């Protein structure tokens, strides 16, 4: 009797991801976010006309991992830099990848105005409720009571203020075409995140204005938890404060099935 074995590839490195080991800590969700973005770039066939803008934060070297043109911005200024590129090259696909310190603290002015202008760029916002790169200080997204190296007794909202819900805030602006929050803590949510990433690029490709996907993420290293505990902590503590949802979806996007 003869048997034929057919081999089918079900999983491989996306073309838009380079074959270099990432520098992220084990279990860090930055790597998942990178992979999802690269998969979507492949699926849309836009690698050769995509330009990425890396932030200052743990993902400062994001440009090493994407196989497309990339620039590296100053801390928080990625939306301004992306604006400069997009205005000169309107038919290219321009995206930024930013942490919560980068986007919601030092870069608050740049992100609000990029959204307000309806700048036709796509923003991926990694909310891990902490400053990862500088080893664990309080971020604007740090939860009330959350301990960090600069809020050692826990974030006291009386003196340190309240966390910022960026997706809700930016969705209020007329220039925003697509603003949603997703999470990277389990396979179901990761699949939902990928769909949102796809729609965020579609927003740009269709000229529908500013698009942002906030991705709830972990930072085991600075949270002081194991990767698994971190995923649980995200689910139990972050999602109640930062609900997953669609805060702005332009009408033209609503019909798109991905």
Partner 1 sequence: MAKELLKGNIAMAEAAIRAGLEGYFGYPITPQTELLEWMAERMPALGRAFLQAESEVAAINMLYGAACTGARVMTSSSSPGISLMMEGLSYIAGTEVPAVIIDVVRGGPGLGNIAPSQGDYNQIVHGGGHGDYHPIVLAPASVQEAVDLVVLAFDLAEKYRTIVFIMADGNIGQMMEPAELPPMRPIRTEYPDWAVRGAMGRERRILSSIYIDPKDEEVTNYRLLQVWNRIQAAEIRYREYFLEDADYVVIGFGTAGRIALSAVRMARAEGMRVGLLRPITLSPFPHPQIENLIPQVEGILVVEMNSGQMLEDVQKAVRGRVPVEFYGRLGGMVPFPDEILAEIRRMCREGIPPDGDPRQRWMKRFAPIIRWHD
Ligand X SMILES: Cc1ncc(C[n+]2csc(CCOP(=O)(O)OP(=O)(O)O)c2C)c(N)n1
> Rule CB under 6 A: which residues touch ligand SF4?
24-25, 28, 30, 58, 128, 132, 219-222
Q: Which residues bind partner 1 (CB under 8 A)?
A: 47-51, 53-54, 60-61, 63-64, 66-74, 77, 80-85, 87-89, 92, 109-110, 113
Cα 16 to Cα 33: distance, rounded to the nearest angstrom: 13
Cα 147 to Cα 130: distance, rounded to the nearest angstrom: 10
Which residues inside 36-95 make contact with ligand X, applying CB under 6 A?
A: 56-59, 75
Judged by DSSP in three states, 179 sits in strand
Cα 189 to Cα 8: distance, rounded to the nearest angstrom: 26
Cα 139 to Cα 121: distance, rounded to the nearest angstrom: 24
Determine, following the binding rule CB under 6 A, whether residue 32 of this chain makes contact with ligand X. Answer: no
Of the candidate residues 83, 96, 98, 128, the single one contacting Mg ion (CB under 5 A):
128
Determine, following the binding rule CB under 6 A, whether residue 163 of this chain makes contact with ligand X. Answer: no
Determine, following the binding rule CB under 5 A, whether residue 214 of this chain makes contact with Mg ion. Answer: no
Residue 233 Cβ, how far from partner 1 at the closest point, in Å?
30
Q: Got the DSSP string for 37-48?
A: HHHHHHHHT-GG
In terms of CB distance, is 203 or 220 closer to ligand SF4? 220
99: tokens are 């942490």
Query: In the chain, where do the E strands start and end?
Result: 50-54, 69-72, 93-99, 122-127, 176-183, 210-216, 245-249
Of the candidate residues 100, 110, 119, 214, the single one contacting ligand X (CB under 6 A):
100
62 binds, among partner 1, ligand SF4, ligand X, none (CB under 5 to 8 A by kind): none
In terms of CB distance, is 31 or 209 closer to ligand X? 31
237 binds, among Mg ion, partner 1, ligand X, none (CB under 5 to 8 A by kind): none
Residue 182 β-bridge partners: 215
In terms of CB distance, is 68 or 212 closer to Mg ion? 212
In terms of CB distance, is 98 or 220 closer to ligand SF4? 220
Cα 47 to Cα 15: distance, rounded to the nearest angstrom: 9
Determine how many CB atoms are found less than 10 A away from the CB of residue 91: 6
Of 31-39, 64-72, 120-128, 167-175, the segment contacting Mg ion by CB under 5 A is 120-128
Determine, following the binding rule CB under 6 A, whether residue 220 of this chain makes contact with ligand X. Answer: no
Of the candidate residues 27, 31, 101, 209, the single one contacting ligand X (CB under 6 A):
101
Helices 187-205 and 30-44: angle between axes, nearest 10 degrees: 50
Q: What is the 3-state secondary structure (H, E, C) of 11-31?
A: CCCCCCECCCCCCCCCCCCHH
In terms of CB distance, is 43 or 235 closer to partner 1? 43
Nearest C-alpha neighbor of 141 from the set 212, 237, 210, 62: 237
Residue 37 Cβ, how far from Mg ion at the closest point, in Å?
17
- Binding residues for ligand X, rule: CB under 6 A, are 56-59, 75, 99-102, 126, 128, 130-134, 139
């Amino acid at each position: 009797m003869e048997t034929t074995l057919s081999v089918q590839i079900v999983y491989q490195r996306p073309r838009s991801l380079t074959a270099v080991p990432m520098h992220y800590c084990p279990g860090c969700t930055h790597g998942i976010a990178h992979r999802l973005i690269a998969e979507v770039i492949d699926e849309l066939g836009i690698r050769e006309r995509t330009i990425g803008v890396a932030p200052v934060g743990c993902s400062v070297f994001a440009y090493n991992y994407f196989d497309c043109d990339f620039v590296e911005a100053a801390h928080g200024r990625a939306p301004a830099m992306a604006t400069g590129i997009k205005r000169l090259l309107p038919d290219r696909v321009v995206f930024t990848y930013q942490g919560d310190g980068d986007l919601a603290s030092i870069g608050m002015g740049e992100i609000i105005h990029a959204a307000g202008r309806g700048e036709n760029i796509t923003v991926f916002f990694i909310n891990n409720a902490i400053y990862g790169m500088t080893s664990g200080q309080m971020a604007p997204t740090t939860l009330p009571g959350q301990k960090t190296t600069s809020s050692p007794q826990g974030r006291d909202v009386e003196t340190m203020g309240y966390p910022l819900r960026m997706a809700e805030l930016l969705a209020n602006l007329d220039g925003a075409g697509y603003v949603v929050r997703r999470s990277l803590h389990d396979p179901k949510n990761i699949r939902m995140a990928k769909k949102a990433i796809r729609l965020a690029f579609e927003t740009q490709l269709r000229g529908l204005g500013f698009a942002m996907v906030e991705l709830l993420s972990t930072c085991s290293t600075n949270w002081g938890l194991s990767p698994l505990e971190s995923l649980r902590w995200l689910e139990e503590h972050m999602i109640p404060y930062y609900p997953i949802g669609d805060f702005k979806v332009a009408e033209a996007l609503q019909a798109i099935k991905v």
